[in-house]
Structure 1
Amino acid sequence: MNAEIDHDATGEDDSGAHTDAPAELTAGSNWAEARELLYDMVSTPSVSDDEEAAAEVLKAFFETHDREVWIDEVGNVRAPADDSVLLTSHIDTVPGDIPVTVEDGLLWGRGSVDATGPLCSMAAAAVETGVSFVGVVGEETSSRGAWHLVEDREEPAAVVNGEPSGWDGVTLGYRGFLSGTYVATSELGHSSRPEDNAIQSAVAWWSHVADFFDEERDGVFDTVTTKPVRFDGGPTDDGLAVEATVDVQFRVPPRLTIEDVREVAEGELTRGSVHWNKPIPPVMESPRTDVARAFRVAIRGVGETKPRLLRKTGTSDMNIFAGAWDCPMATYGPGNSDLDHAPDERLELDEFDSAIDVLVAVCERLADD
């Protein structure tokens, strides 16, 4: 039997919800306890690499509902159950102190959109339906939680990843991510000499790579975005050489592979080398999978509106899951993604409720299939 949420819960409970939460938080809601969890989680700082306190709050919520739950060795909150669906979102947020307030049906605070809102909506739906849940750590930095998860558990029947899509939207595609560091060294010589030094070689290399991918495409999603994020260069400490390093990033559309981009970058080398970091592959799920169909039906049922099928120009943990597991998946969650990382990050509470309704319907449909 599922340990269902007490929809009318208010005030103090064993999940650790704040007793000083404003009355407006739960007024008129069918998901009052879920809103209290949301308020408590947004009120608990959870910047990447410092998610322990928020993880404990989330763990306590599942313990209150008699769910098996633990925090694993990397910090993920694991609540396994019915693996017909795995609901998963990230605990960590980017830095930024936004006072947590509730006003005019809006919850303000860092993480309310990215991605504590999606995370808490999934926690509520997991308790309501009895499906599996994981709150992962480190998504905003190295995705260490997702990488650990795919190495440490069996593949579920379906995955719903939590990121803001709006309650009536579902994300099926993300670009991949490739980063690395170019390093070059040259002998130090007088500046009047015509030969390129390492700094000039670094500038030329990056210019050629960026020019190669500077092409007209139908929208950003289908384009390779090239971005240098750090440039260092100058004489070495011993005064005998010139060194240059460039940290670079590429966003890779599903029409290409990570290897395609890497081959282009390495093919433009005339001096030096590139040291690549662990890549994240692009993903594009079909709108005809069981998961996508379940979302279309659920969104129409909750709001009598046409579902929006989305492709995102960034990268998410769904890329990692899709690269490791051969099961249908999608990304979903309440919130306007334009407010990700923004100084005015806020979430409509009614949208939060609608997202839980959608997730519950999706999980019940997939569990019955």
Structure 2
Amino acid sequence: MSEVSHGTTETKAQGEARDLLVKLVGIPSVTHKERACAEQLKTFFENHDREVWIDDAGNVRAPADDGVLLTSHIDTVPGDIPVRVETLPSDDVAWGGGGSPPGDEADVLWGRGSVDAKGPLASMAVAAVRTGASFIGVVGEEVDSRGSRYVIEDREAEPDAVINGEPSGWDGITLGYRGLVAGTYVATSESGHTSRPENNAIQDAIQWWANVEDEFDTDEWEPVFERVTPKPIDIDGGLSEDGLSVEATMDVQLRVPPSMSTEEVIEITDGYLDVADRVNWDDRVEPVMQSPRTKVARAFRGAIRQQDGDPRLLRKTGTSDMNVFAQHWDCPMVTYGPGDSDLDHAPNEHLGLDEYDKSVAVLETATERLL
């Protein structure tokens, strides 16, 4: 793996920030296997004389000034992308912000998690030690948000403000995420000859899902953020082992816009069920939409302008740990971090280090203003 070149014009602080990022990306941390990366993050805080520990869920906790809680996730999705730093023509570098990388060439870090979300994670850690803000690196965000859910239950008091780390581009501020409901449809019917006209369980599953899709079908011009998006994830069906029945199961997810609640979406989908079928709903995350006029959003707009940027206000069609925090804490929050979110989970995931530097500067300024 290539080392980050600090050069003669880079400050020591910038070099340290880049080194932390490269180290974190260089340590694989697929969900449920985050420990080694968590230990590296813990070491970074120890080297800056900060109180820090790894809690029972595997989160890295570095409490300090709760005027701001900086948090991002340690885990990544699977995928082997050789970790390296390369110098490339600027035009070949994905730039998460509204402009292009400066200059003719740019240093680029390749590796799984460079964008989602170790770029945001490292920038949060650096800003925390520079400003004295509280920090938590959470686990499990890519699967079930078990880290953030543990934090909600374990903390005695909520912070005054939350900055959640996900790629928004250095000049972007994410204010909203859709919610999520997920479950498993289950149906059973008596076995019989295929010449019979009655529906079997497989047909019931197909019909139920077709009704759900029709219910939430919208005009193609309606923004995705404002739609319910139903998606089947897995389907299985056939004769039972004893040959006496036909069984069908279907794992489904529906993304929920802020105009609806997860309960409303479940009620609608359950309305198309027959007596012999059901859905076991096992995951519910409420949507979130923050005002652009909160003190946190204002602090970021000012910090981005200070770096000669034009702030962009974003709404994301997926979900994040911000949904979990917003459901339980009544404090202002935004999501922010370097990187082009189109590269999330992608085979060519990479982050320009110039953009990372800008994000660290923006984050540090915004945090100082809030503290």
Equivalent residues, number: 347
How far, CA to CA, are the matches of 1:322 and 1:233 in structure 2? 38
Structure 1 position 130 matched with structure 2 position 111: no
Contact between 2:45 and 2:129, CA under 8 Å: does it hold in 1? yes
1:189-222 C-alpha deviation (Å, 9 max, x unpaired): 1111111111111110010001100112521111
Partner of 2:209: 206
1:128-175 C-alpha deviation (Å, 9 max, x unpaired): 000000000010111100110111112100000000000100100000
Percent of paired sites with the same residue? 63
Structure 1 position 308 matched with structure 2 position 291: no
Q: 1:43 to 1:49 in 2, by over 3 A?
A: same
Using the TM superposition, give the Cα deviation of residue 306 of structure 1 relative to its aligned residue in structure 2, in angstroms: 1.3
Partner of 1:24: 5
Which of the numbers 291, 294, 309 marks the counterpart of 2:296? Answer: 291
AA at the equivalent of 1:265: T
AA at the equivalent of 1:209: V
Using the TM superposition, give the Cα deviation of residue 278 of structure 1 relative to its aligned residue in structure 2, in angstroms: 2.5
- SS of residue matched to 1:89: strand
Q: 1:94 to 1:28 in 2, by over 3 A?
A: farther
How far, CA to CA, are the matches of 2:348 and 2:178 in structure 1? 26
Contact between 1:121 and 1:352, CA under 8 Å: does it hold in 2? yes
Contact between 1:174 and 1:316, CA under 8 Å: does it hold in 2? yes
AA at the equivalent of 1:34: A
Structure 1 position 187 matched with structure 2 position 190: yes
How far, CA to CA, are the matches of 2:7 and 2:238 in structure 1? 59
AA at the equivalent of 2:368: E
Partner of 1:17: none
Structure 1 position 279 matched with structure 2 position 281: no
How far, CA to CA, are the matches of 1:218 and 1:364 in structure 2? 39
Contact between 2:236 and 2:248, CA under 8 Å: does it hold in 1? yes
Contact between 1:81 and 1:131, CA under 8 Å: does it hold in 2? yes
- SS of residue matched to 1:246: strand
List structure 1 runs of 4+ shifted beyond 3 angstroms: 25-30
Q: 1:341 to 1:29 in 2, by over 3 A?
A: farther
Partner of 1:255: 259
Partner of 2:35: 52
How far, CA to CA, are the matches of 2:234 and 2:83 in structure 1? 34
Contact between 1:228 and 1:248, CA under 8 Å: does it hold in 2? yes
Contact between 1:25 and 1:102, CA under 8 Å: does it hold in 2? no
How far, CA to CA, are the matches of 1:210 and 1:25 in structure 2? 53
Structure 1 position 246 matched with structure 2 position 250: yes
How far, CA to CA, are the matches of 1:87 and 1:26 in structure 2? 29
1:48-100 C-alpha deviation (Å, 9 max, x unpaired): 10000000000000000000000000100000000000000000011111111
Contact between 1:236 and 1:243, CA under 8 Å: does it hold in 2? yes
Contact between 1:21 and 1:36, CA under 8 Å: does it hold in 2? no
How far, CA to CA, are the matches of 1:127 and 1:26 in structure 2? 23
Which of the numbers 27, 47, 69 marks the counterpart of 1:86? Answer: 69
Contact between 1:24 and 1:103, CA under 8 Å: does it hold in 2? no
- Within a 5 Å distance, the mapping from 1:5-44 to structure 2 comes to 21-24=2-5, 28-30=9-11, 31-44=14-27
Structure 2 residues not aligned, in runs of 5+: 88-106
Structure 1 position 118 matched with structure 2 position 110: no
- Within a 5 Å distance, the mapping from 1:213-232 to structure 2 comes to 213-216=216-219, 218-232=222-236
Contact between 1:21 and 1:39, CA under 8 Å: does it hold in 2? no
Q: What is the aligned-residue RMSD (CA, Å)?
A: 1.1
Provide the TM-score with structure 2 as the length reference: 0.92
Contact between 2:231 and 2:252, CA under 8 Å: does it hold in 1? yes
1:291-327 C-alpha deviation (Å, 9 max, x unpaired): 000000000012x221000000110000000001000
How far, CA to CA, are the matches of 2:85 and 2:189 in structure 1? 59
How far, CA to CA, are the matches of 1:107 and 1:50 in structure 2? 22
Q: 1:260 to 1:67 in 2, by over 3 A?
A: same
AA at the equivalent of 2:200: N
1:219-256 C-alpha deviation (Å, 9 max, x unpaired): 11111111001111111101111111110000111011
- SS of residue matched to 2:198: coil
How far, CA to CA, are the matches of 1:308 and 1:98 in structure 2? 30
Structure 1 residues not aligned, in runs of 5+: 1-19
- Within a 5 Å distance, the mapping from 1:141-160 to structure 2 comes to 141-153=143-155, 154-160=157-163
Q: Which moved more, 1:320-329 or 1:183-192?
A: 183-192
